[in-house]
Structure 1
Amino acid sequence: MGYRVVDTDAVEPAPDRPCEQRALSEEGGLTQMAVNRFVAEPGEQIPLAYHYHDDQEEAFYVLSGTLHVETPDETYEVGPNHLFTVEPGSPQRAFNPEDADSAVDVVAVGAPPSEGDAHAYEPEQ
C-alpha cells in the first residue's frame, strides 16, 4: 500500500505558463491520471489553449473564484464547489476573464494521462 500527503503550495509552479500551474501527479505518485492545480489571475488562461483530447477525460473542480470555459456552443461559468467535466473530443478553453474580480483557483484532473493527446481547436469565426 502507498499513501502520500502533498502540500500543493510547496510544489514549484511550472515555468513559462500563462497562469500558475502546479503539477501534482508525480508528487502524489500517480501514474494513471494527471492532476494539476491552477491559479489564474484576471485575464489569464489555464493551459492549454483552445483544444480537445482524443482519449483523455478532464474534470475541473473550482476551489474559489469563477472559472469560465468556452466551448463551441456556449461559455460556461463555474463557481466554487462546482465540477466541470469534458469528454474526449470536446473542444474547450478554460480562463479567467480580464474583468474578473479575483483569481480563480482550480484543481484539474485528466485521465488517462497522455502526451501528444491534446490538439489545437480553431473555432469558426
Structure 2
Amino acid sequence: MERVTIEDVEAEPHPMGVNRERQPVTDALGAEHMTAVHYELDPGEQFSGGLHTHHDQEELFYVMEGTATFEYGTDGEKTPVEAGEVIRFEPGEFQCGRNESDEQVVGLALAAPGSQHNWADLESMAPCPECDEVTPHGVEEPDESFVIFCKECGNEMRIA
C-alpha cells in the first residue's frame, strides 16, 4: 500500500510548456499498471501537448473544479466538461482538453493499462510545414527533447 497527498507530489510541467501545474501521482506512488496525473490549469493551458491519441491506453478525465473543454475526433468537435463530471476516451480516440474559461480548472487524468507511454502507440495531429497541412505525427521516446515526426513525409520537429 502506498499513500501520498497531492501537495507532496512535485510539479513537473509538460515538456511542451502547455501547463505549469502537472503532478504525476503515478510516479509518487510507484504505480506500474495505470497512470494518474493531477492538473491545475490556468486559463489558456491544456492537459497535454495537443490533439492526440494513445492507441494502447484508455483515458478518463475527472474535472474537480471549473470547466474544461475537450476537443475530440479529428474534425474539431468540442464538448465542455464541468466540475463533478468525468469524460472517457477509448484507445485510438483523438482528444485534447483545455481550459478555455477565465477560471482555473483542476482535474485528474487516469489512464490504463500501463504507467509509462508506449511511444510507438502515441499519435498526434499537428501542422506539418513540409506538407502544408495538419497531418498525423508520431513521437519518438524523449531523451532531452521530444522528436515529433510527420507520418506522411517524415519531417521531424524537435521540441525542447
TM-score calculated relative to the size of structure 2:
0.69
Q: CA deviation at 1:80?
A: 0.8
Aligned to 2:66: 65
Contact 2:56 2:118 in 1 (8 A): no
Which residue of structure 1 lines up, in the alignment, with residue 56 of structure 2? 55
* Larger CA Rg, structure 1 vs 2: 2
Partners of 1:6 and 1:104 in 2: CA distance = 21
Higher strand share: 2
Q: Distance in 1 between matches of 2:80 and 2:97?
A: 10
RMSD of aligned C-alpha atoms? 1.8
Deviation, structure 1 residue 13: 0.7
> Residue 120 of structure 1 is aligned with which of 103, 117, 124?
124
Which residue matches 1:21?
A: 22
Gaps of 5+ in 2: 128-132, 135-160
Give the percent of matched residue pairs that are identical in Structure 1 and Structure 2: 32
1-side partners of 2:69 and 2:51: how far apart? 12
The one-letter amino acid of 2:41's match is A
Q: With CA pairs under 8 Å and 6+ residues apart, which has the higher RCO, 1 or 2? A: 1
Once structures 1 and 2 are overlaid, which stretch shifts more, 41-50 or 14-23?
14-23
Residues in 2 aligned to 1:9 and 1:75: alpha-carbon distance in whole angstroms: 31
Deviation, 1:101, is 2.5
Question: d(CA) in 2 for partners of 1:41 and 1:81?
Answer: 18
Structure 1 unaligned residues grouped into runs of 5+: none
In the TM superposition, residue 122 of structure 1 has moved relative to its aligned partner by 4.1
Q: How many residues align?
A: 121
